A and B are shown apart, each in its own frame.
Chain A
């Protein structure tokens, strides 16, 4: 019987891997991941240019603001890692002449004038729309310029000026011994990183639920089930489907990681290298994580998260298999799987919003709930809202839940798998659970 189990498992897995949709989906995923990570390089390759020089005409009617503006623009561009390149010209021509020249170009005219209310005022003139990031950069440069000029006009010496313009020194103190400020910073970082990391897991659960339902329904609809179940027990059939589907999603998850690594390798070899925005952002996030000591915690976070994820996959696949056995068509299954998808979606949203529930008992309890725990517990552990003990409790609850699913689910599966009646599905289900046969 074990031979038949491995044959069925291997057959089911091979069938998925050889299917056209798997190949097409993976080609799309590979292209999409490489594309997203290398979007700037790709645009350049097709003739676009991120390093287009931005022409800026500055009409300085104050007579003393141009140098400060130019210096601030360069500094802010670097500080904010914006990668813009500029061609700044101080203009003596009149406004109309410059505006005439600017027609049908991306050039920007900045007019700096004296103001009785705020030392200086400025106008930003362009022929058409300019992108919001660029506008923000110009706006912040103008604000800094105004501040500097205001300070210098009030005869404050350079030392005082430095003191005035420097950032406020904040000494952050946390009274709770178990908390540290690095974790607090990391919480903010994880707010952006975690949704990206958890999204594939969410998608893989949807894949898993769909796949098991489709496969079981195909065998039921074609009446092949009678022949299959006459040769292998429902138990063997059930586990072969569950194991094959779980292996498939784990493999798909692994492939996603490979695609991401491949995309980063392509970027580092053919991309813009150190000036790249994404690479520098990743390095910046990584440095923050190292500084916070988070990377040391990965030693236990990764195994715990992996166990939770695998057990969650198992729970979702068990439920999907049990429900699929009770349905007779894919349409029926689509309806019956909706609650599972909704629960999974809830888990996903809770996990990406985990940071907002700081200290909430409810969120801690929800992190123990099977179906939610796989998504929520790792998120809460990463941001330090729960500890290892809580995750271990989640794992134990999930193991117990899976045991219950197997114990009672198999009874339902055995009855449902050869049942083609659509009447009173829930009463059949309850009756099956109460039956003595396993």
Chain B
């Protein structure tokens, strides 16, 4: 279990992370969200022991993170951290040895992972000769070759096609089942929604939203109504609590202030020819934009 308690980090006079706390249990996938410069990478670096925090503690299974613990952590960085002149095998052995594994152990695990990602034929190929997708797979293998207790994934799906995204997702789920704690960062909210049970949104180093995804969505007042049929847009916009109405392919999407508005909308359109009326929770993307926007306005 990873426990981050009240960490604060300054770069000179600039506050990068402000009193950040969260917990990631074993087998849990935790989403750390934030716009660029929000403090995500700084947080990851502090967890990895690359940076010292000015205040607070970070514990993995009750132990302060130092070089005796980092062997149990896997890290997929946002930018590809691969030495492109090396072959896939050399690169994985290099990183694996730095994790304290023997060459034999690495070779065995490498074969399994290459098989899983269907890239066995690239084992002795130089990394610079691989496609971006395959390079990302290699980077992922390098991060998990040590069966980490904690895996940090900073934008792991960047530049991947849907097939590769799916392969990587399956691998992440497998690790989760084995009890690996995973911290996940992505700008693609659909990935976070799919993966993370728990999340935290950072704005300028400060936590603006934290909790279980389900609770966050439930507690978020604004909802969306999907309507299919002949309706009068202007008529709906006059209802108090309706924020906007937009046509999306066959449906109209009505954004409302809270669930109390649902009934008013339904009453207004009930005399029209309606074939669909679905109330949905706001997407994480909307919540994220709203929360980050509010914080910037402040």
Contacts and interface: CB of A to CB of B under 8 A. Distances in A.
A20 to B, nearest CB: 11
B232 to A, nearest CB: 55
A227 B75 contact: yes
A78 B255 CA distance: 108
B2 interface: no
A222 B135 CA distance: 12
Contacts of A8: 98
A226 interface: yes
Interface in B49-86: 49-52, 67, 70-71, 73, 75, 77, 79-85
A227 B100 contact: no
B99 interface: yes
Nearest to A229: B50
Nearest to B154: A226
Interface in B97-123: 97-100
Interface string A214-246: 000011001111111111110000000000000
Interface string B85-99: 100000000110111
A230 B94 contact: no
Contact of A224 (B70, B82, B97): B82
Task: Using C-beta atoms within 8 Å of the partner chain, give the interface range for chain B.
Answer: 20 to 34
Contacts of B77: 223, 226-227
Contact of A11 (B48, B94, B100): B94
A232 B52 contact: no
B79 to A, nearest CB: 5
Contacts of B45: 226, 418
A7 B96 CA distance: 11
Contacts of A232: 67, 98
A225 B81 CA distance: 8
A229 B45 CA distance: 10
Contacts of B79: 223
Nearest to B128: A222
Nearest to B93: A11
Nearest to A219: B83
B71 A227 contact: no
B142 interface: yes
Nearest to A232: B98
B83 A224 contact: yes
Interface residues of A, number: 22
A296 interface: no
A437 B75 contact: no
A134 to B, nearest CB: 54
A227 B67 contact: no
Nearest to B76: A227
Interface in A240-291: none
B222 to A, nearest CB: 39
Chain A interface, DSSP helix/strand/loop, else mixed:
helix
A340 B134 CA distance: 41
A223 B48 CA distance: 15
A223 B70 contact: no
Interface string A200-220: 000000000000000000110
Contacts of B95: 227, 231
Given A11-B94, A231-B67, A418 B50 contact: yes
A140 B30 CA distance: 94
Contacts of A223: 77, 79-81
A4 interface: yes
Contacts of B49: 230
Nearest to A234: B50
A1 B73 CA distance: 16
B98 A218 contact: no
Contacts of A226: 45, 48, 50, 75, 77, 81
- The listed residue with most B CB atoms (<10 A of its CB), out of A8, A229, A232, is A229
A100 B95 CA distance: 80
Contact of B67 (A1, A3, A224): A1
A37 B71 CA distance: 54
Contacts of A225: 81
A3 B101 CA distance: 11
B125 to A, nearest CB: 17
B39 to A, nearest CB: 16
A3 B81 contact: no
Nearest to B143: A227
Contacts of B48: 226, 230
Given A11-B94, A418-B45, A230 B70 contact: yes
Nearest to A222: B83
Contact of B73 (A3, A230, A418, A437): A230
Interface string A1-22: 1011001100100000000000
Given A4-B97, A7-B97, A232-B67, A227 B142 contact: yes
Contacts of B80: 222-223
A226 B45 CA distance: 8
A227 B78 CA distance: 11
Residue from A218, A224, A418 having most chain B Cβ neighbours under 10 A = A224
Contacts of A230: 48-50, 70, 73, 75
Contacts of A228: 98
Interface in A155-210: none
Q: Which 3 A-B pairs have the closest CB atoms?
A: A231-B98, A230-B48, A223-B81
Interface of A: 1, 3-4, 7-8, 11, 218-219, 222-233, 418, 437
Given A1-B67, A222-B82, A222-B84, 6 more contacts: A219-B83, A222-B80, A227-B142, A229-B50, A230-B70, A418-B50
20 contacts: A1-B67, A4-B100, A7-B97, A7-B98, A223-B77, A223-B79, A225-B81, A226-B48, A226-B77, A227-B81, A227-B95, A230-B48, A230-B50, A230-B73, A231-B67, A231-B70, A231-B71, A231-B99, A232-B67, A418-B45
